[in-house]
Structure 1
Amino acid sequence: MTGFLRRVLSPYRGLLILVILLQLGQSFLTMYLPTINSRVIDYGVANADAAYIMHQGILMLGIALIQFLLSTLAGIFGAKVALMTGRDLREQVYEKLIHFSRRMIGSMGAPTLITRATNDVQQVIQFITFLFTAIIAAPMMFIGGLVLALSQSVKLSVVLLVTIPLLLGVSVVFLKLILPYYREQQTKIDEMNTVLRDQISGIRVVKAFTKEQGEKERFERINGDLSRINTSIGKITGLMQPIFTLTMSFANISLIWLGGRMAGNGQVQIGQVIGFVTYISFILTATLMASMIFIMLPRAEVSVTRIEEILNSESEIQDREDAFLPEQFRGEICFEHVTYSYAPDNEQVEPVLKDISFCAQPGKTTAIIGSTGCGKTTLLDMIPRLADVTEGTVFVDGMDVRKLLRHELDQAIGMVPQKAFLFSGTLEDNLRDGKPDATQEELWEALSIAQAKEFVEKNERGLKMKISEGGINFSGGQRQRLAIARAIVRRPSIYLFDDSFSALDYRTDQELRRALKPVTQNAAVIIVAQRISTIKDADQILVMNQGRIEAVGTHEELMQSSRTYQEIVASQPTDKEVAS
């Protein structure tokens, strides 16, 4: 924890020193006020000296104003450091997440990653904010209060021998009670986020299968668990304050009783007793602040552990030290004996891809077809390095993709994923993801090629039309066409279409592919599809089965040589049947 705080706070060392100095100043002035108050009672009130009282009162007012100013500035600058630290942490977590591989994100889960980037960072900010208040004030108030209290009366200090150990003991008990609940709380928050994400994202499935009641019970179960944990935490923290208050009240009552008797015997003055009570309250408040730090610490440590798990993770896919940028990409793709496994160290897990070898040439279309789960999407992921091969090599223009700068490789690829995803914002923003400096003409041309221009023009806002998260305000076919347009805007050397025509009707599919030909005449095109009509005109078709390439050829050749391809064709309607 200490190393983590030192690392994240080091960029703001100057502000930290300023906060410390301000806290020192205001703590010193806070402790000096009771001394003046004691003098006013003993020498001003006791002697009926109005001039002395006025003089000391003005001094106290001035000190209080300065103390207020120092305290306010310390709070402002301390909060500024805490908030900037939180901003930096969120940026660091995001920077790590954006480079995680698909497998790493899948292993942790999107909901828990979101919780760590938001809720856990917020817990750290809250702890740092309180720490700035207590880290200087508590030691100053404790040591200064103790010294000044002893200077007033050593005998009265016997009360501290009981109250301070009592407060510390209570804090340790509460710490042991509350720590397990804080750890379980973060886990339950992750589970709740997972449930909510599933239910909101899959609301159509929930309704289609009338699962509302089942999903409601699932949510209520998690919500009930979280509520019970929060209630337990609330009970513990709720019990803390009364116990601390009772202890401090016991100390004050004991001091007043003992001090009154000593004052009556002439051993101390009334002002000294009042000053002593104030100093004791400083000592007990400092002990309470220290206790609160130790109570908040476990929750912050849990959050820090979860954040560091992300920050200390290294993406499986990194640019090598010898990575370079080619002068240009032509778009030739070759797989040489490529094997890929999600668990390469586990021999019991069968590889998804097995000894894959083929080449896709610029100006040619390569299609991939096969049964569900045979590795088609995984094969495409190897090209932009969404995953790296376990064995073998993927070449682009004769260069190992692992030796190319990832950012530049990405710029050469226009990929349309299996699930067309649009970001919330405007349509123009989404299209410019493909090419930030694209002109309006280029955007409209891409929409026209993707057969999306017509329905965009019908919307009064055109390119400025709003897109909801994930593009849920569009149909499946519209989302696919807009995702295809986004790839076309880039005019890449390599086009990767992962079952990107599945939601289109046969006519739109045909017109879109016809419009694509002039645009892709100098680029390599790889299409993954289940529909024969989408791939029958491809220059080569790869038939995949159980992670292997079973056959390669044109439509006509495969109709003669591949039984698997023949079965796929026979299971689908012919063009004449579709036309009828």
Structure 2
Amino acid sequence: MGSVREYKRAAVVTPLLVLGEVVFEVMIPLYTADLIDAIKAGADLQQILTAGGVLALMALISLAFGAAAGLTCAKASTGFAKNLRKDMFYNIQTFSFAVIDRFSSSSLVTRITTDVMNVQMAYMMLIRTAIRSPFMLVLAFIAAYSMAGWLALVFVVIIPVLALALLTVIRRVVPIFRRIFRKYDALNERAEENLAGIRVVKSYVREDYEKQKYDRAATEVQNDFTYAERILALNAPIMNFCVYTVMVFVIYAGSYAIVSTRGELLDVGQFSSLITYGFMMLMQLMMLSMIFAQVVMSEENARRIFEVLDAKTTIDQPENAVTEVADGSIDFDGVGFSYSGDKSREALKNIDLHIKSGEVIGVIGSTGSAKSSLVQLIPRLYDVTEGSIRVGGHDVREYDLETLRDAVAMVLQKNVLFSGTIAENLRWGNEHATDEEVLEAARLAQADEFVQTFPDKYDTYIEQGGTNVSGGQKQRLCIARALLKKPKILILDDSTSAVDTKTDRLIREGFRNYLPETTKIIIAQRTSSVEDADRIVVMDSGTINDIGTHEELLRRNAIYREVYLSQNKQSHDERELGELEVSADE
């Protein structure tokens, strides 16, 4: 309930206003009974008008309390939902990659939207209706008992029957709702996957297949919801049966008492108010059953929300953290890493690598050789399973996280642009960058040329995910964004794969001139992207197979030579390789 916060006052005031509404609502039948008895005794018009005015005033006061309770309830529930969404979103921002991997993005979206909405509805009912109904039950019963005595006790008899029915329904429905919301996640995942890959779907003409996949997921949710609602629907007929059975008995017994005792035991006014109170109590029992149904449904929603709120990042902020990165030197000492934390399933094993500040390091290897895993450990997106990584002479676990990550710029394999202008996207690297700095970074990343062709240039609006620019343009904009950061360490994770070799070369030349003291790690699939690096790291199955210059690796490393030859089939390249081998033999 920590998400109530500034809306706690509204949440506390609502039950008090509801109590005032109920008190005046219960007083109306009491006063009505006296009015009926007065009319029966021969009251004059003035008395009737006065009593009518008092009744109208009571109704208005009750209405005012009810309206005020509605306003404070709405404020408390919507504010609670806003804070709950904010708390979840803020906590998600603290997650390490290891924690993010536990939740799918579609599941997190469902929890922030659908789950919070259901919990909001339950909370709204709890602070208003769940307070009103017990108040009304107790006060209405007291009033009814004060007038009809033993006859009012019949209303108490049905409470155990209804409670037993509700408990039976709840036990059947809770497991179904748990299953439903897992399927909701799968349904949203289908939609998200389809929308993200809609161009691929259309290019392969797989619309019908995608429709069938989505239809199956939607049908499963529908069937489970239908089954759950069918069970919950039993609540209404059980309630109606109890209500009308009791009312038939009350009307029969009350009418008999009036006739047989000629009004001595129960008069007409009291009987009229007793029926009113009876309906009040029974309607509140029905309202309580509705609250139970909503709370039962939202119980699973609340559990899923608490999973997000209670999730703690695996990347701890150290005490007395280092707040300055001296330089871009990087040292891997006996590093092992496993995504699951299980040492027997390590993605990286026995990594020893020492990089001087300002060096250009190429990383090459086959798919699945853990190239990306290697560089993601540097800014602590994940923590090592064993060994240590030092940046600027300090273990990365000693740094303030913001300090460390500010010193490292990464351009990931999946280039992401956000909705907004090109300039706004570039300033993610430095929000205070001037227009001249933005322009310079774009030129170095070879992005300025195509940006200038847009009508609005740097004010061109980028759609969500960057869908209105090509893959190569997106890569160059992401590189420009990283350059604006002016980091101590720049990591390019296969981030020039969608640009031609000439543009790739120009970008690398720009790095050399613009950030001479920045350590640059370039992960690439093609050797031309790394051949002018100071050193090249060859990765193989999570280990370092070899380290050397382009020429050294061509002479001695079979993996690098095979990659190079597969990409360079021209005869002059083969002759060059032969000359290198001859010189090595000599």
Q: TM-score higher than 0.5 here?
A: yes
- The residue number in structure 1 matching 2:299 is 301
- The residue number in structure 2 matching 1:460 is 455
- The residue number in structure 1 matching 2:583 is none
CA distance in 2, matches of 1:324, 1:362: 18
Moved more, 39-48 or 135-144: 39-48
CA distance in 1, matches of 2:41, 2:301: 56
- Please give the per-residue CA displacement for 1:483-511, whole angstroms capped at 9, x wherever unaligned: 00110111111111000111101111112
Aligned pair 1:77/2:72, yes or no? yes
Aligned pair 1:353/2:348, yes or no? yes
- The residue number in structure 1 matching 2:530 is 535
- Please give the per-residue CA displacement for 1:219-263, whole angstroms capped at 9, x wherever unaligned: 111111111122223333444334423432333333223222222
Classify the secondary structure of the residue corresponding to 1:335. strand
Of the three residues 520, 541, 548, the one matched with 1:546 is 541
- The residue number in structure 1 matching 2:582 is none
Q: Which amino acid aligns with 1:357?
A: D
Displacement of 1:215 in angstroms is 2.5
Identity %: 34
Asked if 2 retains the 8 angstrom alpha-carbon contact of 1:45 and 1:53, the reply is no
Q: Which amino acid aligns with 1:298?
A: V
Cα RMSD (Å): 2.0
- The residue number in structure 1 matching 2:340 is 343
CA distance in 2, matches of 1:487, 1:157: 77
Q: Which amino acid aligns with 2:250?
A: L
Classify the secondary structure of the residue corresponding to 1:61. helix
Classify the secondary structure of the residue corresponding to 1:536. coil
Q: Which amino acid aligns with 1:276?
A: L
- The residue number in structure 1 matching 2:576 is none
- The residue number in structure 1 matching 2:19 is 24
Give the TM-score normalised by the residue count of structure 2: 0.93
Alignment of 1:415-454 (within 5 A): 415-454=410-449
Asked if 1 retains the 8 angstrom alpha-carbon contact of 2:437 and 2:484, the reply is yes
Displacement of 1:111 in angstroms is 1.3
Q: Which amino acid aligns with 2:327?
A: R
- Please give the per-residue CA displacement for 1:81-112, whole angstroms capped at 9, x wherever unaligned: 11111112112211221222223222322211
Displacement of 1:280 in angstroms is 1.4
- The residue number in structure 1 matching 2:89 is 94
- The residue number in structure 2 matching 1:175 is 170
CA distance in 1, matches of 2:191, 2:113: 16
CA gap 1:406/1:82 in 2 versus in 1, 3 angstroms: same
- The residue number in structure 2 matching 1:281 is 279
- The residue number in structure 2 matching 1:166 is 161
Classify the secondary structure of the residue corresponding to 1:153. helix
Classify the secondary structure of the residue corresponding to 2:567. coil
CA distance in 2, matches of 1:304, 1:190: 15
Alignment of 1:28-43 (within 5 A): 28-43=23-38
Classify the secondary structure of the residue corresponding to 1:331. coil
CA distance in 2, matches of 1:324, 1:208: 51
Runs of 4+ in 1 over 4 A off after TM superposition: 574-578
Asked if 2 retains the 8 angstrom alpha-carbon contact of 1:26 and 1:68, the reply is yes
CA gap 1:369/1:35 in 2 versus in 1, 3 angstroms: same
Classify the secondary structure of the residue corresponding to 2:244. helix
Moved more, 211-220 or 410-419: 211-220
CA distance in 1, matches of 2:146, 2:87: 51
CA distance in 1, matches of 2:504, 2:12: 66
CA distance in 1, matches of 2:456, 2:5: 48
Gaps of 5+ in 2: 574-586
Aligned pair 1:321/2:319, yes or no? yes
Aligned pair 1:333/2:345, yes or no? no
Gaps of 5+ in 1: none
CA distance in 1, matches of 2:80, 2:572: 64
- The residue number in structure 2 matching 1:234 is 229
Classify the secondary structure of the residue corresponding to 1:434. coil
Displacement of 1:291 in angstroms is 2.0
Q: Which amino acid aligns with 2:66?
A: S
- The residue number in structure 2 matching 1:67 is 62
CA distance in 1, matches of 2:57, 2:156: 35
- The residue number in structure 1 matching 2:247 is 252
Of the three residues 392, 399, 409, the one matched with 2:394 is 399
- The residue number in structure 1 matching 2:309 is 311
CA distance in 1, matches of 2:354, 2:40: 100
Q: Which amino acid aligns with 1:396?
A: V
Classify the secondary structure of the residue corresponding to 1:556. helix
Query: What is the aligned residue count?
Result: 570
Displacement of 1:464 in angstroms is 1.9
Asked if 1 retains the 8 angstrom alpha-carbon contact of 2:232 and 2:293, the reply is no
Alignment of 1:114-125 (within 5 A): 114-125=109-120
Q: Which amino acid aligns with 1:200?
A: L
CA distance in 1, matches of 2:521, 2:189: 34
CA gap 1:8/1:46 in 2 versus in 1, 3 angstroms: farther
